[in-house]
Amino acid sequence: MYATQKNQLRRLSQHEFNALTTLCRLSKNLFNVALYECRQYFFA
């Protein structure tokens, strides 16, 4: 089980919100790529 943290950020401009959304998506994608590579190393 993963420990997650959820924060509510208020008073963000549209530009700040879009930047955070993009960074979160890129972080998720980077984690998934690293996990895939590790699994390929051990199981393929």
Q: Write out the two tokens for 44.
A: 């393929």
- pLDDT for position 2: 84
CB 30, CB 41: distance < 8 Å = no
Q: Is residue 5 part of a domain?
A: no
Q: Is residue 36 part of a domain?
A: yes
CB 27, CB 35: distance < 8 Å = no
41: containing domain: 14-44
Across 8-35, average pLDDT: 97
Across 7-16, average pLDDT: 95
- Domain count along the chain: 1
Global pTM value: 0.76
